[in-house]
Structure 1
């Protein structure tokens, strides 16, 4: 499941990695290029929670390979260069595939794998981080191949992901959840009470985090290039951003076992603000380190927020997964055109300044989140210290 997740999320990273190419080779402005990111994300913001609701009613493991195939085909079709509307439609298809994949896959990880908690979810999320990190290198290598062949090379991870996701064997293991188990509750576990107010607050936190990270991933390569780094430096900065996210995901599970999930998320957002400010104000060689630190701080909460959402809505895990994962990959894309428009009107550096403040808003929202009382056995071992 982790490897299959990498094969899907490489296409989320690929859309951001294509932005400098679209600006330089197809003469798109900042707003138009960020509109491409919006197209990949907008469907997810609406459709992914709906896929989550459907997976609560009836498990649909076949969405895992189907979503993977659509994600890869959409990015590969960008190479057809049939005009801006066709490019938007292609990345929208990729976004739809991503939306279909995540709720079904996250539900499978949390339920069919024996009620796995935040450690298993962190390994699943790590696969997605690896896919993100590899995306700039994949795009750079594929576009170095002349002609349509390079674009179709971008579809290779999807082909591998379909093979990995097609059998969905965990859903048929002895002791796995029955197809009709309510909300995909873990075997032998009765769903606990819902905390909708906490889930709503958590959703706001996820929205703020999404805007901060997606804004960085969309524009950091262009920002580094504007500061005199060149195309190679921009690619390295984007790779550093995505690579830092992988370490942050695994670190989140370890810290949560020591501090509790809510306290870990709270402290991570406090660390993210100065790291993002470093990207914007420190000299260029230090930007790479700040990019890795910022991504790590923003990704420490990722898998923890998914399991928190599932525990706030224990009888609707698919819905919780669709909202937390869907908002993570989509809302930031909706905000990207606003950042692009501000960059066109003023400067890219000015447009990115609010991204350093957003983690502080997330920090303030997390302070009042409760640690769920329905934590899984491995999570119950964590100390539930107050977030402050």
Structure 2
């Protein structure tokens, strides 16, 4: 029961934290319409949200391997909300850019510590990671509706209202004095424990036993998975940044209506994350990766070619669903490829997954200014085929090697 309560509370913090991840792309149409930003400047804000965090998140993971850092669950979530809340209070582009960068740093600080806590609570199984991940996806899905409601009524200057969920959740965690240190530093039950040592002065000492061998780190497979995560990040970030702007420019609808596209995308992510955990348990994590990417490429094709906005929304929902099917599998695979460096695996995978695409967003913004948003989204079809191909090269995580059999008596004579 305690584990369920801990997982429920951790999942709720993930929802609040990632709401700010979803709030940033949801704010972009309002910034463009109110301040006249170009696609390149819009993409620059996406870079602010993800660029620094892509560097910080792996470092947080490295530190989390050395000492418990459960306090980052609260601190990271608070910084994410503070940055978004401040982003619209200044008229200068640089003010907005730096405020969004603060939010991105908070998002980066939160994820490695929270992912380690989720693993400690669930013992490393994919379903627990899916429940934890779906909390974040729910937050991302709610964000466009919340942003449209607030900024539609107040304009960009009302962003301070967006910080309220983080303030309320953070205050609740501080008042309850809930600590994640136990969960973050809990031993990984998926790894064998060392056999207890016999007493030194035992009258009948047992013969020495060969040490149990632990599963080694597989850096080669982890490297391939990291490349796959980069190619997951690009279509995730670019679709999040340009989906609403694409619908607004193509079908000439309002910013609030454009936010519905983001809602469809992120709501699909909720379904896909749950489906990903279930499919990984039923058919295996590698199968979830391979077919998730292939179907995602087909869904983007529909987003680009559908002639009516209703069809585009359906394809965006399908795209969000199948793109998130590999998500939880990627995180747990990374942790199993590096069983001795869980924090590093979590930080690198989540950092790359959520941030790497943002580093390329200014390039896509320049292309959108020159070609339009529709051709830019069409390039995602080719991008998604790369991880689909690489996923077939991933091996199953190595099992714990059995001890070498003892040599028969007299074999050395």
Q: Using structure 1 for the length normalisation, give the TM-score.
A: 0.90
**1:128 corresponds to which residue?**
136
Unaligned 5+ runs, structure 1: 376-388
**1:304 corresponds to which residue?**
329
Pairwise CA RMSD: 1.8
Per-residue CA deviation, residues 264-302 of structure 1 (Å, 9 max, x unaligned), is 111111110010110011122101110011111110111
Per-residue CA deviation, residues 49-96 of structure 1 (Å, 9 max, x unaligned), is 000000000011111100111000000101212401111110000000
**Displaced runs of 4 or more, over 4 A:** 163-166
CA distance in 1, matches of 2:399, 2:125: 11
Q: CA 1:278/1:188 → structure 2, altered by over 3 Å: closer, same or farther? A: closer
- Displacement of 1:373 after TM fit? 3.3
Is 1:32 matched up with 2:41? yes
- Displacement of 1:236 after TM fit? 1.1
SS in 2 for 1:46: helix
Q: Which residue, 127, 137, 141 being the options, matches 1:119?
A: 127
- Displacement of 1:161 after TM fit? 3.2
SS in 2 for 1:121: helix
Is 1:350 matched up with 2:375? yes
CA distance in 1, matches of 2:126, 2:306: 35
CA distance in 2, matches of 1:162, 1:141: 23
Structure 1 window deviating more from structure 2 (88-97 vs 364-373): it is 364-373
Q: CA 1:24/1:147 → structure 2, altered by over 3 Å: closer, same or farther? A: closer
| Aligned partners of 1:39 and 1:91 also within 8 Å | yes
- Displacement of 1:44 after TM fit? 1.2
**1:266 corresponds to which residue?**
290
CA distance in 2, matches of 1:119, 1:15: 28
CA distance in 2, matches of 1:356, 1:160: 41
CA distance in 2, matches of 1:134, 1:207: 25
Structure 1 window deviating more from structure 2 (135-144 vs 34-43): it is 135-144
Is 1:257 matched up with 2:281? yes
| Aligned partners of 1:2 and 1:123 also within 8 Å | yes
Is 1:226 matched up with 2:235? no
**2:65 corresponds to which residue?**
56
Is 1:107 matched up with 2:116? yes
Unaligned 5+ runs, structure 2: 1-9, 194-213, 401-413
How is 1:126-165 mapped onto 2 (pairs within 5 angstroms)?
Answer: 126-146=134-154, 150-163=158-171, 165=173
Q: CA 1:257/1:188 → structure 2, altered by over 3 Å: closer, same or farther? A: closer
Q: Which residue, 245, 248, 252 being the options, matches 2:272?
A: 248
CA distance in 2, matches of 1:356, 1:164: 43
- Displacement of 1:229 after TM fit? 4.4
- Displacement of 1:148 after TM fit? 8.2
Is 1:186 matched up with 2:210? no
How is 1:354-365 mapped onto 2 (pairs within 5 angstroms)?
Answer: 354-365=379-390
Structure 1 window deviating more from structure 2 (195-204 vs 232-241): it is 232-241
How is 1:79-118 mapped onto 2 (pairs within 5 angstroms)?
Answer: 79-111=88-120, 113-118=121-126
**1:321 corresponds to which residue?**
346
Q: CA 1:101/1:165 → structure 2, altered by over 3 Å: closer, same or farther? A: farther
CA distance in 1, matches of 2:368, 2:155: 32
Q: How many residues align?
A: 367
CA distance in 1, matches of 2:399, 2:72: 28
**1:378 corresponds to which residue?**
none
**2:393 corresponds to which residue?**
368
- Displacement of 1:149 after TM fit? 7.7
CA distance in 2, matches of 1:355, 1:16: 18
Q: CA 1:32/1:305 → structure 2, altered by over 3 Å: closer, same or farther? A: same
Q: CA 1:329/1:188 → structure 2, altered by over 3 Å: closer, same or farther? A: closer
Q: Using structure 2 for the length normalisation, give the TM-score.
A: 0.85
SS in 2 for 1:186: coil
| Aligned partners of 2:70 and 2:179 also within 8 Å | no
CA distance in 1, matches of 2:47, 2:151: 22
- Displacement of 1:150 after TM fit? 3.1
Q: CA 1:101/1:95 → structure 2, altered by over 3 Å: closer, same or farther? A: same
CA distance in 1, matches of 2:91, 2:192: 52
The structure with the larger Rg is 2
